[in-house]
Structure 1
Amino acid sequence: MTSYGICTVLILLCWAFWRLLKQYFIRSSLDNIPGPKRASILTGNVAQLFSRDAWNFHDDITEKYPSVVKFHAPFGGKGLYVVDPKALYHVTVKDIAAYEEPAWFVQVSALTFGQGVFATSGEQHRKQRRVLNPVFSIKHMRSLTPIFYAVAHRLRAGLSAELGDANFGETEILGWLGRTALELVGQGGLGHSFDKLDRPVPNPFHQVLQEIMPTVFSLHLWRVLLPYVMPYIPPRVRRLVGPWLPHRAMQKWRSIVRILDEQAREIYDAKKDALEKGDEHVEHEIHEGRDILSVLLKANSNAAEGDRLSEEEVIGQISSLVFAATDTTSSATARILQLLAEHPDVQDKVRAELLEASPDGEDIPYDRLVDLPFLDAVCRESLRLYSPVIFMSRDARQDAVLPLSEPIQGVNGALMTEIIVPKGTSIVIGILACNKSKALWGDDALEWKPERWLSPLPESLTNAHIPGIYSHLMTFLGGGRACIGFKFSQLEMKVLLAALLPAFRFTLGQREIYWNVAGVSYPTVGRENSNPEMYLNLEVITP
């Protein structure tokens, strides 16, 4: 190791040692906030927050403590787990500039997806959203509906072919849904076909996408160290040393990044070439250039110089869009189908509503589909109680004050109406915890009850002013970092259910379904298995 490398290691060790020691000598405004004990001197409560089976920890932290909870971050740091609606509003909307994405999240996103919306902040992020917003409008979603139905019909045909003449059988439905989500974002988002959906054979690119979150989440300590190590290691050195790192998950991550980048550049080059050849050539492409990428590239070329995205930024949007639209929506749709299998009466009611809306079996038009009340209630309730993303992280980039909706009692017994948040504090946005808070949703908050959406919601909820962009929920977040494609996701779920439920009856099989905590939660067969998959029984419904 060179003297420069030795100095770097020594500096990092001294920094970590000081971070661990200073908590015993320097008092923090967070010391008076109740919270769980530190599980590890080095990593604090991070392993408990991020482990695959962290459900109980997240439940305990909100049941045993107030609406803002202190937890222990790595190397002696302190963080806040926030559920209080007013505090969430300040973190996600009003004081968004003070609470940015953590440095490790930005680094991981940049390394994995490139310079897309996940890896940017501040004015660069706002610039990207200005260009992207029009392509996710309701008008554009309405134009994509025929594309969605065409792909959904292929899924339905593929499932029927897998069942064969038996008209009943077990299928690994998560794989089918993931491949379908990939094809939907491929055709509707990129004007590119990834999968014919004609055989029950795993799609290699979809398998890579499935591995992203489990792989990244397995790199607990490495993620935290990235912001402190990356500035001292030049890209050339990283490229030389990377292949020799004796870490299986790290090597898998490198392979994922390479495949994502190659695929995104291939799609970008093909689309750019088609657009440069003119409208006549575009008309012969998939869906005649109505996809999101075509619209984005046209809008980008017409944008003012200061608002225009660079080539690397557009490529980054491709990787980001493919990942975001594949993992989250397939996870949410799989959960809905599991819930419908567990509640056959609800499944029958949704099916009856869909058949009434389309007695001749034709595709239900966009405006009619999105307005079906019980289908909508099932989707909302599932996204409430089983949000695919259960929390998000932020870092306080400056000293700030966090006001509270309701006072909390400090460790010293005093009531606090606001919290002084020091610069560098880690913030966890409790998405799922807010979605199922009994103080907001009532005593039945932990029950899956789609009918709650068919009558007025409790005043405790409506008066709380939850900052989420969707139905008093934090599922898609709120403010300037809210999920930009949430309408795309909602349309996809409803089209798939509209295509599948009239054709099949879903029931539970013999294999256990266990859901794992990750950046996007995912099911496995039992708790010990790490491979994302979920099996359900399907029965063909004869007319």
Structure 2
Amino acid sequence: MISYFTKAFTLLLIPWLIWKLLGRFFGKSPLDVLPGPPSASLLFGNIPKLYHSEGWDFHREIFRKYGTTMQIKGALGERLLLTVDPKALHHIFVKDQWVYECSDALMDRNNVYFGEGLLATLNVQHRKQRKMLNPVFSINHMREMIPLFYEVTDRLKTVLKKKVGNGSKEIDVLHWMTRTALELIGQSGMGYSFDTLEDENDYHPYSRSVKRFISLTGGPVGFFANQFAFHLAARFSFPRLKRFIVEHIPIQRVQDLKVVVDTMQQTSVEIIRAKQEAMRSCDPLVAAEMQNKKDIISILMRANATASEEDRLTDSEVIGQLLSLVFAGMDTTSSALSRILQLLATHPHVQEKLREEIKESQINGQLNYDHLVNLPYLDAICRETLRVYPPVNMSFLRTARKDMILPLANPVTGADGREISEVLVPKGTNVIASAFGSNCNPDLWGPDSYEWKPERWLSPLPESVIEAHMPGIYSHLMTFMGGSRACIGFKFSQLEMKVVLSVLLSTFKFSLSDKEIGWTMNGIAGPYVKGADKTRPQLPMIMTALEKAES
């Protein structure tokens, strides 16, 4: 009987799949009026180029050639909509954000990796979680984070001074920025130390796992897995069977990823359980210590314990916030810091000008919150780096939940030569928004839009930028997205970066090494040494003790 139904199901499924594929390849779509690059492959479309680790030139070329809105061919003839048009982005991320929700495939993938946190929830559940988390990312709480940030960064300064001594030494800056970013999140986000920052070794398995996560999940392979494998697996409710299948897939990348995700989740569960035990402790000193902790997760757990039943988060949701916090804040911050230090080494006059600004404002070698956030040149350098070099470039995937008309601020020339000022987006269409493309749009930022010029932030921005009303939550940029799913911790990240830069630039001079550096684009942008193993991110730079540099 089972065999009969299996055969019958297969006989029905195969014609349906063939019909769907024929419709994709030979059918018509409202998106066909849009310009776009020709498909590079019947099987994979333009995805390998779009998500290639060296995709920078391809992205610049398609925006130059096809404008701000285009059709991209996906796998098996799928039509994707790629846009950086400001009006279109406003509709996608703000005005019609409940129609253009995160794709089901992306939610399924994030749920497997991060649990039920902000990155894997939609609608009411997502709004409830943000409501609980918003207070811990307030300005007042950020002020209280400053001593913790300095404590971690001073440890970094101490170990680097020992390594550099009174001279100069080549240091892998990315290695130290990544470890520092994780420890900053660990201390201020969880009240937990992952790394003493005392020597070359990062002993905690969580640290090693998080670093490997991006390389294992990025690129075209990651895109196809996210779009199909996780989405298909989520349709079935047999967790033990799915786990069994994963454990027996004979692909090393899958097995490595399994170990990484297990380590991340197990560590997160241990941290949450330890905090729960402290909150319930009969020892008044232990309970009082937990009540006074200022890290994000401790504050969230205390608020959650007193919340109403309808607002309260489950243990799984709390664990999900912890996992999401580390993923969203570690590699993105270390990538941005590493990029800034490389740019400062490439432009020594900018580095020296910034160093002077920092030193003039320091009191006892540190800056308080108000001084730190109001240093104009430091702020300009951070903004310009995040504009031209956003750590995350192509992850803003949305799916239209119904047929929609998408208006454009900048009409594009269609495949038939006619001007297109609005696009009919069919239900089910996957929409990609490019932070890189929108941040460097020459229609808004001018002909030098791809150039790194911090000074552009020290004078009024172009009217074209102001009038575009870009929906990004930060500085007319899409670096931290916009709307209800905008990055909740963007102020936290900015503060981390400014503390680290102020301490390091007061102590060291940074110069380029003789190694040529490239940056991967897919996933989270990361540096590597050209000619070396690209899967081993690194950024060797020459660090010089400032006393010697000034002598």
| Range into which the TM-score falls when normalised by the shorter chain | over 0.9
Match of 1:348 in 2: 352
**3-state SS, counterpart of residue 505 of structure 1:** strand
Match of 1:113 in 2: 114
> Displacement, 1:224?
1.9
Instruction: Decide whether the 8 Å contact of 1:515 with 1:522 is kept in 2.
Output: yes
Higher mean C-alpha deviation, range 4-13 or range 459-468:
4-13
> Displacement, 1:210?
1.5
1:200-279 equivalence runs, <5 A: 200-203=200-203, 204-217=205-218, 218-226=221-229, 227-232=231-236, 234-277=238-281
Pairing 1:78–2:83 present? no
Shift in CA distance, 5/260, structure 1 to aligned 2, threshold 3 Å: farther
Higher mean C-alpha deviation, range 469-478 or range 209-218:
209-218
Q: Distance in 2 between matches of 1:65 and 1:31?
A: 13
Q: Distance in 2 between matches of 1:125 and 1:147?
A: 29
Match of 2:22 in 1: 21
RMSD (CA atoms): 1.9
Q: Distance in 1 between matches of 2:25 and 2:119?
A: 36
Which of residues 521, 531, 545 is equivalent to 1:540?
Answer: 545
Pairing 1:174–2:174 present? yes
Higher mean C-alpha deviation, range 467-476 or range 98-107:
98-107
Pairing 1:515–2:519 present? yes
> Displacement, 1:147?
0.5
1:57-206 equivalence runs, <5 A: 57-164=58-165, 166-203=166-203, 204-206=205-207
> Displacement, 1:192?
0.5
Q: Distance in 2 between matches of 1:385 and 1:7?
A: 55
Match of 2:368 in 1: 365
Shift in CA distance, 430/189, structure 1 to aligned 2, threshold 3 Å: same
> Displacement, 1:44?
1.5
> Displacement, 1:229?
4.1
Q: Distance in 1 between matches of 2:312 and 2:289?
A: 27
> Displacement, 1:501?
0.1
> Displacement, 1:84?
0.4
Q: Give the share of equivalent positions with the same residue, in percent.
A: 43
Higher mean C-alpha deviation, range 246-255 or range 378-387:
246-255
Give the counterpart letter for 2:389 in structure 1: Y
Instruction: Decide whether the 8 Å contact of 2:179 with 2:195 is kept in 1.
Output: yes
> Displacement, 1:168?
1.1
Q: Distance in 2 between matches of 1:496 and 1:8?
A: 59
Shift in CA distance, 12/536, structure 1 to aligned 2, threshold 3 Å: farther
Q: Deviations over 1:270-296 (max 9, x none)?
A: 1111222377325546x9401101110
Pairing 1:291–2:291 present? no
> Displacement, 1:163?
2.0
> Displacement, 1:518?
2.1
Instruction: Decide whether the 8 Å contact of 2:411 with 2:420 is kept in 1.
Output: yes
Which of residues 301, 304, 307 is equivalent to 2:308?
Answer: 304
Q: Which runs of 5+ in 2 are unaligned?
A: none
Give the counterpart letter for 1:363 in structure 2: Q
Q: Distance in 1 between matches of 2:209 and 2:450?
A: 34
Shift in CA distance, 8/533, structure 1 to aligned 2, threshold 3 Å: farther
Shift in CA distance, 283/232, structure 1 to aligned 2, threshold 3 Å: closer
**3-state SS, counterpart of residue 527 of structure 2:** strand
Higher mean C-alpha deviation, range 175-184 or range 198-207:
198-207
Q: Distance in 2 between matches of 1:475 and 1:299?
A: 30
Match of 2:385 in 1: 382
Q: Distance in 2 between matches of 1:228 and 1:494?
A: 43
Instruction: Decide whether the 8 Å contact of 1:282 with 1:289 is kept in 2.
Output: no
Instruction: Decide whether the 8 Å contact of 2:280 with 2:287 is kept in 1.
Output: no
Match of 1:46 in 2: 47
**3-state SS, counterpart of residue 362 of structure 1:** coil
> Displacement, 1:214?
1.6
Give the counterpart letter for 2:522 in structure 1: A
1:345-494 equivalence runs, <5 A: 345-358=349-362, 360-391=363-394, 392-494=396-498
Shift in CA distance, 54/14, structure 1 to aligned 2, threshold 3 Å: farther
Q: Deviations over 1:370-406 (max 9, x none)?
A: 0000000000000000000112211112111111112
**3-state SS, counterpart of residue 541 of structure 2:** strand
Q: Distance in 2 between matches of 1:512 and 1:202?
A: 26
Give the counterpart letter for 2:361 in structure 1: A
Q: Distance in 1 between matches of 2:535 and 2:240?
A: 34
Shift in CA distance, 388/202, structure 1 to aligned 2, threshold 3 Å: same
Give the counterpart letter for 1:202 in structure 2: D
TM-score after normalising by structure 2: 0.94
Give the counterpart letter for 2:545 in structure 1: V
Q: Deviations over 1:451-498 (max 9, x none)?
A: 100000000111110100111111001000100000110000000001
Q: Distance in 2 between matches of 1:319 and 1:467?
A: 27
Shift in CA distance, 73/14, structure 1 to aligned 2, threshold 3 Å: farther
Give the counterpart letter for 2:143 in structure 1: R
Match of 2:330 in 1: 326
Instruction: Decide whether the 8 Å contact of 2:169 with 2:543 is kept in 1.
Output: yes
Higher mean C-alpha deviation, range 269-278 or range 144-153:
269-278
Give the counterpart letter for 1:259 in structure 2: T
Instruction: Decide whether the 8 Å contact of 2:195 with 2:202 is kept in 1.
Output: no
Instruction: Decide whether the 8 Å contact of 1:476 with 1:483 is kept in 2.
Output: yes
Instruction: Decide whether the 8 Å contact of 1:19 with 1:75 is kept in 2.
Output: no
Instruction: Decide whether the 8 Å contact of 1:87 with 1:404 is kept in 2.
Output: yes
Give the counterpart letter for 1:46 in structure 2: I
Q: Distance in 2 between matches of 1:485 and 1:173?
A: 24
Give the counterpart letter for 1:536 in structure 2: M
Instruction: Decide whether the 8 Å contact of 1:355 with 1:361 is kept in 2.
Output: no
**3-state SS, counterpart of residue 36 of structure 1:** coil
**3-state SS, counterpart of residue 75 of structure 1:** helix
Q: Distance in 1 between matches of 2:490 and 2:130?
A: 14
Give the counterpart letter for 1:538 in structure 2: M
Shift in CA distance, 475/181, structure 1 to aligned 2, threshold 3 Å: same
Q: Distance in 1 between matches of 2:284 and 2:347?
A: 49
Q: Distance in 2 between matches of 1:334 and 1:22?
A: 46
